[in-house]
């Protein structure tokens, strides 16, 4: 009984293009919203939560639609095809609106910093006085235009200067708000394209995830899921590498046009879809899976751990059968709140607080996460899912806690090491959390419990950009990592009390070998 890695990799191209897109979304969209349109961190957080709000309703809906689909291409493939094509088409108006807003913001040469800052000075926007006296006009803080336009971007160590973070960035974003109010057309086009794009991506996310178990026999799904996660991580890394090459994360490129970036992302999505459609014949793969399951005598009727818990509770007159599920789902909510707060805000945080290019840090963290997936899978089999998750939660809590005290003069190497540590911790959580949820259910309600898992994770990802953005606005940008650390520490508390959902061995009929079954 061996996993067909070639088949799994090809099936994984659907998830690959999904992660490729979402990495671009998480890193560029908040920068466009704050740098180009001048939105506050709170407002940006609300918009960044839209994808999760859409997903709460769309993922179960289109998952159910795909279950009932009976086409020549299979149940899942039509949704993957239509959703991807529409998403690719909508990337272009998104890029167009970015170009339109940039033209409204400045007529100066992209490399002429003095001319760009002169336009900001002439608008005389209101910004928060760094001395804490409230909102004041920009020109009241300087003796002359030259004093403002001559503020250096970085110091001799390559760190952002205090003048850049305290005056230039707030003034530039305030100026962007003035321009957006005067001419809202680019913002309207941007938001319209973004909402439609989020809807189109939601059309095929559940079908793409459901395809792997459709074509993989049950005992091999855990290994197959690791391969799918690797494919998704590679997609995210390619997007980060592209941003690194194009310099999208450099502080001096805050007002660059992202057209080339958007075009390449769209092209990579199109190539991934073409590979998927060329080599994945869904009906054939489903038949092969059914025939192999029949040959091996694998029964889907595995008793759920919650059924066992109900019997135990009944013996003692208790009603705590759902407690294991609720504790795991609470843990999912907490660690997604911490993790997503960082991923959705770090591109802005890196440039304003640390003075670093976010691409390199996230690229290294993603690379370490990829390398950790398979070793963590083996470790989980040895020490159990719960212990592995607890170790990952502790690693993330410690890493983000140390990130809380880092500032512009902190070594970039230290930032990268801490993010890589968090990446290993996230891999430990990500590999084991979903299998723990579906371990609690029987084969006939895996879809329902998958819905529970995604509802918890999406609800957390909906709430946390808004909450983290609110704290960053009211307390300061540096509240991001303390917020994330506290959320993940809460997951540690709830996870300690989980007593079910760990690795189980199942003996399939007509097979003398014990096999771990993981959905």
Give pLDDT, residue 299. Answer: 53
CB contact at 8 A, 488 and 382: no
Enter the DSSP assignment of 71.
Answer: B
Q: Write the secondary structure of 17-52 as one string of H (helix), E (strand) and C (coil).
A: HHHHHHHHHHHHHHHHHHHHCCCCHHHHHHHHCHHH
Phi/psi at 408 (5° precision): -60, -30
- Contact partners, residue 287, CB within 8 Å, separation at least 6: none
Give pLDDT, residue 311. Answer: 54
Give pLDDT, residue 251. Answer: 76
CATH topology of domain 299-519: Growth Hormone; Chain: A; (1.20.1250)
Q: Is 313 exposed, middle or buried (0-12, 13-18, 19+ CB in 10 A)?
A: middle
HSE-up of 160 (CA within 13 Å, CB side)?
Answer: 22
CB contact at 8 A, 264 and 242: yes
Give pLDDT, residue 188. Answer: 96
Give pLDDT, residue 292. Answer: 87
Give pLDDT, residue 444. Answer: 46
Q: What residue ranges do the domains of the chain occupy?
A: 106-185, 299-519
pLDDT of the chain, 519 residues: tens digit per residue: 688 989 999 999 999 999 999 999 988 998 999 999 999 878 888 888 788 788 878 877 887 788 788 899 998 899 999 999 999 999 999 999 999 999 998 887 777 889 989 999 999 999 988 877 788 999 999 989 999 999 998 877 777 788 888 899 899 999 999 999 999 999 999 999 999 999 999 888 888 887 887 888 866 766 777 788 889 888 988 998 899 899 888 877 888 889 999 999 999 999 999 999 999 999 999 899 888 888 887 654 444 455 555 555 444 444 444 788 899 999 999 999 999 899 878 888 887 788 777 778 888 888 898 888 878 877 877 788 889 999 999 999 999 999 999 988 788 899 999 999 999 999 899 888 877 776 676 544 555 676 678 788 888 988 888 888 888 888 888 899 999 999 999 999 999 998 876 655 444 444 444 333 333
Phi/psi at 70 (5° precision): -135, 80
Return d(Cα 78, Cα 243) in angstroms, integer.
31
Give pLDDT, residue 89. Answer: 96
Q: Is 21 exposed, middle or buried (0-12, 13-18, 19+ CB in 10 A)?
A: buried
Return d(Cα 276, Cα 245) in angstroms, integer.
27
Give pLDDT, residue 14. Answer: 94
Give pLDDT, residue 301. Answer: 43
Give pLDDT, residue 519. Answer: 34
């Amino acid at each position: 009984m061996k996993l067909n890695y070639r088949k799994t990799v090809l099936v994984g191209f659907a998830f690959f293009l999904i992660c490729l897109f979402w990495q671009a979304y998480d890193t560029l969209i908040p920068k466009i919203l704050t740098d180009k349109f001048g939105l506050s961190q709170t407002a940006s957080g609300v918009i960044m939560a839209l994808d999760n709000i859409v997903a709460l309703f769309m993922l179960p809906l289109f998952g159910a639609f795909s279950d009932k689909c009976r086409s020549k291409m299979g149940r899942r493939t039509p949704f993957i095809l239509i959703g991807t094509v529409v998403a690719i088409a909508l990337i272009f108006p998104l890029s167009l609106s970015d170009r339109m807003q940039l033209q409204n913001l400045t007529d100066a040469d992209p490399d002429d910093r003095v001319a760009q800052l002169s336009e900001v000075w002439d608008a005389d926007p209101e910004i928060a006085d760094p001395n804490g006296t409230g909102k004041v006009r920009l020109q009241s803080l300087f003796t002359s235009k030259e004093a403002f336009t001559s503020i250096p971007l970085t110091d001799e160590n390559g760190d952002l200067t205090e003048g850049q973070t305290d005056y230039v960035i707030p003034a530039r974003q305030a100026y962007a708000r003035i321009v957006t109010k005067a001419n809202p057309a680019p913002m309207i086009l941007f938001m319209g394209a973004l909402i439609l794009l989020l809807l189109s991506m939601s059309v095929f996310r559940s079908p793409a995830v459901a395809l792997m178990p459709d074509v993989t026999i049950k005992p091999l799904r855990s290994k197959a899921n690791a391969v799918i996660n690797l494919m998704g991580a590679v997609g995210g890394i390619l997007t980060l590498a592209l941003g690194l090459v194009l310099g999208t994360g450099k502080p001096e490129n805050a007002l660059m046009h992202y057209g080339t970036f958007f075009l390449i992302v769209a092209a990579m999505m199109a190539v991934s879809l073409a590979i998927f459609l060329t080599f994945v014949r869904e009906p054939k793969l489903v038949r092969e899976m059914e025939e192999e399951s029949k040959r091996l005598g694998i029964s889907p009727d595995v008793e759920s751990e919650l059924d066992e818990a109900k019997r135990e509770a009944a013996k003692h007159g208790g009603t705590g059968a759902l407690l294991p599920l609720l504790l795991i789902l609470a843990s999912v909510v907490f660690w997604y709140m911490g993790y997503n707060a960082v991923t959705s805000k770090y591109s802005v945080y890196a440039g304003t607080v640390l003075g670093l290019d976010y691409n390199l840090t996230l690229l290294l963290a993603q690379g370490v996460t990829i390398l950790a997936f398979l070793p963590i899978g083996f470790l989980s089999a040895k020490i159990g899912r719960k212990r592995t998750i607890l170790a990952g939660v502790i690693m993330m809590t410690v890493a983000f806690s140390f990130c809380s005290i880092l500032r512009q003069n902190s070594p970039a190497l230290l930032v990268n090491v801490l993010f890589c540590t968090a990446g290993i911790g996230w891999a430990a959580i990500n590999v084991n959390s979903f299998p723990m949820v579906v371990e609690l259910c029987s084969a006939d309600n895996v879809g329902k419990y998958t819905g529970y898992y995604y509802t918890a994770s999406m609800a957390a990802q909906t709430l946390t950009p808004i909450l983290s953005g609110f704290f960053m606005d009211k307390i300061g940008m540096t509240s991001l990592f303390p917020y994330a650390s506290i959320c993940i520490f809460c997951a540690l508390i709830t996870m300690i009390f989980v007593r079910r959902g760990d690795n189980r061995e199942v003996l399939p009929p007509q097979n003398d070998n014990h096999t771990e079954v993981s959905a």
